[in-house]
Structure formats: structure tokens, C-alpha cells
Structure 1
Amino acid sequence: MKQPLILTFLILLSYGCKEKASDLFSIDTIFEEYYKFKDRINPIEATKGGNYEYNDFIANYISDDYQEDLRKNYSHFLNVLAELDTTALSEADLLSMKVMKWDCEVKLEGLNNSIVTMASPIYNLPSFELMPIFQIQSLHLYVAQLAAGGSVQPFETVEDYDNWLKRVDDYLIFLDTSIAMMKEGMSKGIVLPKSLAQKIIPQLDEFITNPVDAHLFYKPIVAMPESINEAEKSRISGEYSAMITEKLKPKYTELKQFLVNEYLPACRETSGIGALPNGTETYNYLIKLHTTTNMTADEIHELGKSEVARILIEMEEAKNKIGFKGDIKAFFESVRNSPEQMPFTDPQQVIDNFNSIKERINVTLNQVFDLKPKADFVVRRTEAFREASASAEYVPGTKDASRPGIFYVPIPDVTKYNTYSDEALFLHEAIPGHHYQLSLQQENKDLPEFLHPESMGVFVEGWGLYAESLGTELGLYEDPIQYFGMLSMEMHRAIRLVVDTGIHSKGWTREQAIQYSLDNEAESEESVIAEIERYMATPGQALSYKIGQLKIRELRTKAENKLGSKFSITEFHNQVLNSGSLPLILLEEKIDNWINSQI
């Protein structure tokens, strides 16, 4: 493998060369090398961003060799930045450099934690080395999503089809490593809660029992392009059949037998990471990673309870305007079970409803935004094998907008699909939420490329939740039930602050967290259970939404108060969106500088 230029510089340093990094390399070169490093260590994310150099590779990110490579390189980049003369940097480059430094430092800290390892390909989340497989946001689910086609993995050429076979071979190595790591976890008492492990087992059945011609991993063969000649079609079809029957099914069978016979009996009854060895320290780190703050679990827990109380008052007012005569809990139950809010009989009707919101919002966007992405997006039903445990989500398109973004909606039972919060959900996942923010980020040619992919969850999810609050300004929420749905979505994220810290820091049980949610929001019990189990699997990630939203709203209020008539909502949004995903301390620094420049 070609030696990065950055490592050449570090070798020079080791031999006593005293030149500063800026004397040898421009900041653009450092950014470029960092981007190449990030794509190399997370090849699926590279594919997702339109870099197809690593399409035949999946990183075994829980292996010791991989983690040592990360430690070495993050340390090297920090050494480079320490030697850099920053006095000549532009304001934009200095901000990007600070983001890079923060990223290196926080990822290195995670690598030195005894439970966490970094650079998982799943939504930029960390992985747990000894608990590598979960019921949600886990590589076995992500790989299946890619395998089906129609997602970020291309299936257009012979090379694309051959690349996927090589990726599957890497994935099977990952599964072997996962079994070994879980066995080590069993010996150290670092295992999943039993309720989560139980959810993984039925997910594997579809890949074991389905015949080849109906197998998810065979779908690209069914949809093979006409441009591939018959001889290649025959060869590829045979190789995919053999991959499924001779490699994939036996490996999934082995994994299932291990989970059922060995792992599940060893799983724990506790719910939170705090119950594990070094769990408290790990959770404190995950709070820092996911919120980019130094807030404590206690501070976040109390903030969450305060937000729940505030939103309950607003929900009470909304309930009274609607004319409901019972108390708020009765109203929650009414909304959960209202036939009027569950009108659909066909999944396509759910998709059509979101597309109609898209048409309505396009009329008013110019009043609030003047930055608009080139990329489009499509609304698609979440695949059946994962939708029972899935939440709605957005997957960005490519940088050149050749592949649109995808807004995935789980519809496990269309007759029970409740529409009461669809407008807020659209604002969050699509426009002006994730589709806008992430598309603008990766299309921004003024940003270094390492800032193009999805990154700081507290910024990305904070923006998504902030976007929900813009519905009235964008001409939505005219239906009072939809406005209540927006409050419910915000309440859902406020509850997360309470239950995530409760589970992982205060010893709450799964059942306690479920009941707290049911007492304070209108989500169905089935949905609440899936959400609580998601928080159990991904400690700290759920904190990012509300922490980020509160900071963006705080900064908007500060700008409105200080600038008065000079305040421009479109320019404020430009300032938030035109520098990529930022740690909150850097976002605040940027907005403060902008405010001062306008006074």
C-alpha cells in the first residue's frame, strides 16, 4: 500500500527534521490525507459517499490489527496538527482543522477504552468489541441492506457484482471474529442483555431458511442489468448461488446455534452498560462522544426531566385546543388507537402521504432557506427483514447527486400505521432535516472532503430535531393533530435524555424505561419497546438529538435578540449549514463570530 504523505512527514520528524508541517505540506494536503485515511478505515462509508475504490472490501473493525492501525494513525495526525503553523490559516480552514483535531482526540480516547472500539460502518456509531452484534444498527443488518441492491452498494457492472462477492468474504471473516469476541466477552462478563440477544436470533432465520431464488442476497441477480452479457450472467448467477448455499447459510446457521446454545444462556438480566466492568467510565465517554460536551449523566437526566415537564404543559394546551375532555394520558391513548389516524390499507399509501408533504413544503421553502441541495431523495419502505426493530431513517445519496438519498419508513403493519406525527417526521428525515443538511454538506466544494460524510451525531440529529420546529414557518401543522405530533416527537427526544441516562447510569430496568415512556408520550407500546431496546444497544446516541436541538435553538434566540431587525433567518440557517457537522462548542464559536460581524 502506498505510504501516505503524512507518514513521510512523521518519519522526517523522527529523524530530527525541525520544519513545521506547514513548511512541508499545505493544510489542504493534510485534509486530503485525512480524508483518504477515513475512507480506507471505513470502506462502506466510502462507497456511501461515492468513492468506489474500496467496493470489494469490508473492514474487520473489531480485530486487534485494525484497532492498532487506528491508534497509530489518529496519533500521527494529532502530531501533524501540533506542528502546524495556524497563523496563516483562513477562518474556514482553522475551523475545519479544529473539527479534525476533535475527531482524532475523541476517537483515540474511544480506542483506549476497554469496551468501545471506533470506526464501525454503522451510521458513524462506535462498536463494542466484545458485543459486536445487536438487534439494531449492526453490521449483519447493514450488510443485508446492501446485499438487496437499491441501496448504496452498486450493482451495475460485472465488476460491481464481483466486488460484492469479495465483500461478502470479508463479512464472513467479521462474523468469525464476532463469535470469537463474544466468547471472550462471556469469559469477562461483557455480554448483551438477554432481551436484545433474543431479538437477533429470528433476524437470522430469513437468511438460513429462504431458498436461493427468494434469498435477499440473490436479489441483485434477479435485477441484473441487460448490459451484462449472457455468459457473465450465467457465471455470476452460479457464483451468487454458491455463495449463498456454501458460505452464507452455513455461517448464519453456525452463528444462530452459537447464540441459542452458548451465548443466550450467558446473557445478563441487567439493561444498562453501567452494569458491565468499566461500564460507568465507558458511558461517560459515550456521553462526550455523542453530545460533544462535558455534561454529566446527572445533568442530562435532570435536563431531560425539565424538558419533559415543559413539553407536557404545551401538550396539555394542544389537547385542550383539539377539544379532548379527558386527561393527557387518556389523550395519548386516544391518539395511539384512533382509527382516523390509521387510515391506510396499503403500504404505498404511506409513501404517497410523505410525497404529498414534499409537494406542499416546496411552496414555502424559499421563505426560510436560500441554500438548497442539488440531490433529490426518494421515500422507500424499510426492508421486511429489519423493519420490526427499525426506526425511520435517512441514507444520503452520492456527492454528485447521481443516486438520490433514501428516506426509509418502517411499515410492519400498515393497518396500524399512525399518521399523527408524519409532518414532523418528514421535516426531520427529509426536508429541511437530514436530506437538506447532509446533501448540502457533501455537495459543499468549499469544505475539505473529510467533512462531507455524515459525522457529528449531535449536529446531524440536533439539526433534524430543530427542523421539526420549523413546520409552522413552512406552512405545515395546520391540522392540530399534526402539531400535537410535533410536540410528541420533541417529547420523544426529551424522554430519551431521561431513559438513556436512567438505563445506563442509574440502574433503570428495561421495564422502568418502557413505563416512563408510555406515561409521557403517545407512541404505541410496540414502538416504545423497540425504542428502549435501541437505547440499550447504543448507549448515549439517543442523547444527541435534544442536546443538539437545544443548542441550535439557543443560538438562534441569541442571534434574534442581539441582531433585532438585522436578523435574517435564511442567513442564520446558512451559517449553521455551510461548515459541515460541527462539535457544539465550535458551532457556538462560529455563530457568535457571525453575530458580532453583523452588529
Structure 2
Amino acid sequence: MKKITILILALVVFQSCKEKPKKEESATISANFSTLLDSYYEDGLKLNPITATLAGDHRYDDVFTNALSDEFEEKAKTHFESYKNKLAAFSDENLTESEQMSKAILDWECDINLNEFNFNADLTPIDQMWSTNLFMGQLASGSSAQPFATVEDYEKWMKRVDGYLKWMSSAKEKMREGMTKGHVLPKSLIKKVLPQLQSLTTKDLDKHLFYQPIKKLPEGFTEDEKTALTEAYQNMVSNKVIPAYQKLYDFMKHEYSNVGRESSGIQGEPNGDAYYAHQIKKYTTTNMTASEIHKLGLSEVARIRSKMEEIKNQVGFEGDLKAFFDFVRSNKELMPYTDPQQVINNFNAIHDRMKPQIEKLFDVKPKTPFEVRRTEAFRENSASAEYNPGSLDGTRPGIFYTPIPEVTKYNVYSDESLFLHEAIPGHHYQISLTQESDVLPKFRKTLWYSGYGEGWALYSESLGTELGLYTDPYQLFGMLGAEMHRAVRLVVDTGLHSKGWTREEAIQYSLDNEAESEASITSEIERYMANPGQALSYKIGQLKIIELREKAKNALGDNFDIRQFHNQILETGCVPLALLEDKITNWIKENS
């Protein structure tokens, strides 16, 4: 017995000795992996310095990288290829579960970005909704992420503008190259870009967007500083910005307009089908085909129409659903406002109504403050409601922008669902909680995958009843209308880009199936034309989250806690949907 005991003790000592270097090795691997992720994030900020500004990191506020240059393309390719190779050196078996997810996300991120270079998206760098010039206009206003608090801030912005003007020049050359290769915007989109550019050719500095920071000079600046900055900005706007916009406007109005394509979808461009397949994967983070998505969209449209019929009957409307759409669109009782501030006030009132119920669904809430603002005038006519994230440190609030181009025609019927989507608990919760996480690596705090992000926001709309909203049948109809809007997107986006639909056919299909105004629908269809595939992400992501909630609820029964489910969805930040499904599946197993 003594020999056996001694042998066992020897084995225990031997095993413990073996485990110690393994733990040390594991710690080293983990540290090296963490360093890799941090390096990827830091190198990414240098590659795209405006990402740093948006995150509240002001080291690169004076830098604007010309993403249309050959130099940038080579740097970007090298960036993603090198990190993909470095990532391959780490075996999954040596990583924690969280590290494995980070590895899978980074691998996916490198692949999708590298694949983008196989197409010619850079030959159509300007459109009416998504392009860099519109975003730079927001920064130029002095009320967005670019800081204007110190003299140095003002000087940094002037340097950034110099880089941006080089991008504008490159954009014109890229579009000219696109003219020779069959990559041009549809004519209907060019018409929408022209007034946006023209508005920034005004010589009235007081009205010029890029001059607005001078009208907001901090009181603490000395008179000499104010004078110097005023003169510098007058020179910048008059002698640099206005001429650059005038040249681009003249080019697009005269040369480019003449060659704008008649086709509405990306099929009208060379290699359009392959590019659309890439866009579907990029935005939905799935391997679904255009045909599968189109079929799903038709099915969802039919399902939601039946729910809408119930609301129509509830309010006692006599007539078919299309007539009810027209009634809702034109109902003056749903257009009660005369002052844009009333629209803002209504959104704040919606927030107040739901506050008492939020604890029932969420036990973790963001610290980042939140505001509702009107969309800036220069882009308001072509803009949709949107959320702009706060800074990583929470010092800049998250902002829900809502366009109010004609306040007397502003229809309130979908405001509750819109607030849930863009604000709380939609994008504001999802993005702010990600940014505030003390667990996620930095690179995951600024990632954006539409399938997850927009899917969560659309899922949030379905929580209205649980949050004390949708007590009015028209607001409930608004929620169904918003969901129908996303279902219609599955049909019209794939129709435009894979089935040869025209802009007019897509507009008519939307008018037949949703209650949005024709002007709003036209703007939406042109949005899909400008960025193929993006509109698919909402419904695909929403359906996946609903599926996972039902799966967890059925498996866990009485142990299912909706707050814990929401924590599981939100704590990982933006991830491809397949990885989210794996996570929830593992969580269910651990709690069954």
C-alpha cells in the first residue's frame, strides 16, 4: 500500500509540475494575442483616422486619409493580409472562448475587406446619402464629433480639410475613370447629388457650412486668436473649399450627368452580380443568396399585411389595405405640428413614457448620455432618421438625428417605433454598451456589422408593447409599417440589384405595400440604389434574434430571463450572425 501511495503522490507532483509551465505558456499566448488585437486596432486608426475622432480619440484630428489613392489601397491590403497571417499563428485550442470569438471576428473582418478590393466601388465614390463628402459636412458644422474647443482644434480641422480636398479631387478623377469603364451612378441619383454640392458653393460665408465653427468661437479665446482664426477660415472657405465644390459640381452637372446610367440596379455595371453577392455577405453576415432573400421578403410582406388588416378593421376603416395606406399617409390628424421643436419634444415624451418599464427588460443600461436633434439642413431633404454614436469615453452624447424638411407634413404615426429603433433600446443601448465594455478588446468596440446592429434595432421595435408603448392603434400600425418597410426592402433591394427591376417598379411595389409617403419611398429606393445590400441587414438580423429568443425561451422554460437574454445579445458587441447564434446556443446549454 505504501508503494502505491508513494506512486500516486509522485504522479500528482509530476502532474502539478507539468501544469505550471502550461499555465505560464497559456498566459503568454493570451498576452501575445491581446497585443495582436490592440495592434490591429491602433494600426486601423492610423489607416482611418476619422474612426479615432468618432471614438473620442483626438490624436489624429488633423489627418484625413485619401482612401481613393493607390497608396492607401496598398496600405489597406497589406494591413488586412498581414493581420490575417498573424492570426493564423494562434490555435483555437490555446485561446479562451472570448479570444476564440475575437479571432473569428477578426478573420472575418480581414476576409470581407480584402474581398472588397476585387470590385470597383471606388469608381463611384459620391452619392446622395452614403459618401464621405456628406459625413465631412457633418463634421464641418462644428456640432458633431470633430472638436472645436481650443485654438489647436480649429487649426487641426484646417489641416484635415486640406486632406479632404485632395480626396474631392481624387473623387472626380475616379468618377472620370468610371465613365470609361461602365461604373457610373444612375441618372436619378446624380440629380440628387447636384443640389447638395451646389449648396456648398455659396459665397455667403455666414451661411456656409464650413464657416460655422467661426460663429461658435469659445469665449475664452483672446481677441488676437479670434481674429487670426476668422481670417484663416475665411481664406480656407473662400479660396479652397468653395472652388473645390464648384469644380466637382461643374464636373457632375456637365460631364458626368451626360453618362449617368439608365439602369437602377448594380446589375447595370460590369461584374454587378458578383459585387451584389459580396454586398449581401458584407451587410447580412450570412451566405444567403439574392433569390433566397427575395423569397423570404415576399413571405414576410404577406405575413405583416395580415396583421395590418387587423389594425385597419380595429379602427373601423372601410376599404382595402392600399386605401388605408393612403388614409394614414394623408391623415391631417397625424400631422399636428407647426414647429420642428414639437417633433423633438414628442420623441422626448416617448422616452419619458417608456422609462418606468425599461427595468423589466434591461438590467444593464449605458452611461453615455443621449440627445434628439434635427438633421442638418444641408442634407435634410435626402436623409433618413439616424443615430450617431457617442464617444468611447462617454463625454460626447449619442445623438438621434431626425429630418424635418416640412414640419406641417411630418406624420407622427411611426414615431414610437422609430425612437425604439434609432434611440432606446435600439442603437443607443447597443452601441453605447459595446463602447463602455471593460471586457471587449478595443477593435471590437468600433466594429459595425449591419446584420447584428440593424437587426437589434429592428428587434427593439417589437419591444414597444412591453415598454408601455403602442397603446394607440396608429402607433401599433406604425410599428407594423416599420417592420413592413424592412420586409419590403428584402423584395425591392434584391429586385433592383438581381432581378432587373427599375426604380419606378420598386417605388410602386413599396407604395402598394406600405404607408410611407411617395416622397419618402422615392428617397428610400434611391438609398438602396446607392448602396446595394445594406437594406437587407435589418430584417435578416431581426429574424435571427427573434429565432434565438424563442429557442432560448423554449429550452429554458421558467428559467428564461429576458434581461439575461438581452445581456447575452448585447455584451459581445457587433458580431457576424453565425457567431452570435453559436454564443446563444452555448448559453442555453450552460443554463439548461
Length-normalised TM-score, structure 2: 0.94
Counterpart of 1:114, as a letter, is F
Alignment partner, residue 32 of structure 1 = 38
Deviations 1:343-392 (A, max 9, x none): 00000000000000111111110000011000111100001110100000
Match of 1:419 in 2: 412
1:408 and 2:413 correspond = no
Q: Determine helix, strand or coil for the equivalent of 2:400.
A: strand
Give distance in 1, aligned partners of 2:29 and 2:516. Answer: 58
Q: Is 1:546 matched with 2:539?
A: yes
1:452 matched to which residue of 2? 445
Alignment of 1:434-473 (within 5 A): 434-473=427-466
Q: For 1:78, which of 84, 107, 118 is the aligned residue?
A: 84
| Deviation of 1:20 (Å) | 12
Alignment of 1:389 with 2:382, yes or no, is yes
Structure 1 residues 104-155: Cα deviation after superposition (integer angstroms, max 9, x where no partner) = 11111112x122xxxxxxxxxxxx2100000111111111111011111100
User: Does the CA contact (< 8 Å) of 1:438 and 1:454 recur in 2?
Assistant: no
Match of 1:486 in 2: 479
Moved more, 452-461 or 381-390: 452-461
Q: How does 1:106-125 map to 2 (within 5 A)?
A: 106-111=112-117, 113-115=118-120
Instruction: Answer whether contact 2:141 2:213 (CA < 8 A) is retained.
Output: yes
CA distance in 2 between partners of 1:24 and 1:468 (Å): 39
For the pair 1:282 / 2:288, whether they are aligned, the reply is no
Which residue matches 2:18? none
Contact conserved, 1:21 with 1:80, CA < 8 A, in 2? no
Aligned to 1:502: 495
Structure 2 Cα separation of the partners of residues 210 and 475 of structure 1: 50
Deviations along 1:256-302, one digit per CA (max 9) or x if unpaired, are 11111100001111001111111110001110111111110000000
Distance of 1:39 and 1:141 partners within structure 2: 21
For residues 437 and 108 of structure 2, the distance between their equivalents in structure 1, rounded to whole angstroms, comes to: 21
Deviation at 1:411? 0.2
| C-alpha separation in 1, matches of 2:46 and 2:312 | 52
CA distance in 1, matches of 2:418, 2:523: 17
Which of structure 1's runs of 4+ aligned residues deviate more than 4 A? 19-25
d(CA) in 1 for partners of 2:494, 2:354: 36
Deviations 1:435-457 (A, max 9, x none): 00000000001000111114111
- Rounded Cα–Cα distance in structure 2 between residues aligned with 1:293 and 1:331: 36
| Deviation at residue 396 of structure 1 after TM alignment | 0.6
Matched, 1:183 2:169: no
Report the alpha carbon displacement of residue 480 of structure 1 after superposing the two structures with TM.
0.7
The DSSP-based 3-state class of the residue aligned with 2:267 is: helix
**1:381 and 1:408 in contact (8 A); partners too:** yes
Q: Using the TM superposition, name which of 42-51 and 457-466 deviates more.
A: 42-51
Tell me the CA shift for residue 26 of structure 1: 1.6
Kindly, what percent of the aligned residue pairs are identical? 55
Equivalent AA in structure 2 for residue 216 of structure 1: L
Aligned residues: 568
Find the residue that maps to 1:83 and give its secondary structure: coil
**Counterparts of residues 37-52 of structure 1 (less than 5 Å):** 37-52=43-58
Quick one: which of 341, 345, 351 aligns to 1:348? 341
Helix, strand or coil at the partner of 1:251: helix
CA distance in 1, matches of 2:169, 2:493: 31
Q: Distance in 2 between matches of 1:146 and 1:24?
A: 38
CA offsets 1:514-560 (integer angstroms, 9 cap, x no match): 00000000000000000000000000000000000000000001001
Determine helix, strand or coil for the equivalent of 1:60: coil
Structure 1, 80-89 or 221-230: larger mean CA deviation = 80-89
* Residue identity opposite 1:198 in structure 2: K
Contact 1:394 1:434 in 2 (8 A): yes
Q: 1:21 Cα deviation (Å)?
A: 13
- The 5 A counterparts of 1:325-340 are 325-340=318-333
Any conservation in 2 of the 1:21–1:84 contact (CA below 8 Å)?
Answer: no
> Unaligned 5+ residue runs, structure 2?
1-24
What runs of 5+ residues in structure 1 fail to find an aligned partner? Answer: 1-18, 116-127
Residue 378 of structure 1 is matched in structure 2 by 371
Does structure 1 conserve the Cα–Cα contact (< 8 Å) formed by 2:26 and 2:94?
A: no
CA contact (8 A) 1:32 1:448 kept: yes
**One-letter identity of the residue aligned with 2:371:** V
- 1:362 is paired with a residue whose SS is helix
Match of 1:585 among 575, 578, 581: 578
Rounded to whole Å, the distance in 2 between the matches of 1:369 and 1:192 is 44
How far apart are the structure 2 equivalents of 1:374 and 1:140? 31
1:53 CA drift (Å): 1.2
Alpha-carbon shift at residue 210 of structure 1 (Å): 4.3
1:327 offset after TM fit, Å?
Answer: 1.0
Q: Which residue pairs with 2:290 in the alignment?
A: 297
* Aligned partners of 1:20 and 1:83 also within 8 Å: no
Looking at structure 1, the residues matched to 268 and 200 of structure 2 have their Cα atoms a distance apart, in angstroms, of 33
- Within the alignment, does 1:399 sit opposite 2:392 as a pair? yes
State whether structure 2 residue 186 is matched by structure 1 residue 158.
no
Structure 1 SS opposite 2:88 = helix
Instruction: Please say which of residues 318-327 and 476-485 is displaced more in the overlay.
Output: 318-327
Q: Which residue matches 1:519? A: 512
**Residue 100 of structure 2 corresponds to which residue in structure 1?**
94
After TM superposition, give the deviation of residue 38 of structure 1 in Å.
1.9
**Is 2:62 the partner of 1:69?**
no
Give 1:315's aligned amino acid. M
Check if 1:532 corresponds to 2:525.
yes
Residue identity matched to 1:484: F
Aligned equivalents of 1:584, 1:227: Cα separation in 2: 49
Tell me which protein shows more helix as a share of its residues. 2
Residues 1:473 and 1:244: Cα distance change in structure 2 (over 3 Å): same
Q: Which residue of 1 aligns with 2:21?
A: none
Residue 211 of structure 1 deviates from its aligned partner by: 0.6
Closer/same/farther in 2, CA of residues 558 and 20 from structure 1, 3 Å limit = closer
What's 1:119 paired with?
Answer: none
Q: Secondary structure at the match of 1:427?
A: helix
For 2:61, the equivalent position in structure 1 comes to 55
Which SS does the other structure have where 1:375 is aligned? coil
Where does residue 265 of structure 1 map in the other structure? 258
- Give a deviation string over 1:55-79, Cα, whole Å, max 9, x none: 0111111211111111111111111
Match of 1:563 among 551, 556, 560: 556
Query: What SS does structure 2 have at the residue aligned with 1:406?
Result: strand
**SS where residue 87 of structure 1 aligns?**
helix
The one of 194, 200, 204 equivalent to 1:201 is 194
Larger Rg: 2
CA RMSD of aligned residues (A): 1.3
Distance in 2, Cα, partners of 1:343 & 1:234: 46
Per-residue CA deviation, residues 564-599 of structure 1 (Å, 9 max, x unaligned), is 111110000000000110100000000000000011
**What amino acid maps onto 1:58 in structure 2?**
F
Deviation per CA, 1:188-211, whole angstroms, max 9, x where unpaired? 111000000111111112211241
Q: Normalized against structure 1, the TM-score is what?
A: 0.93
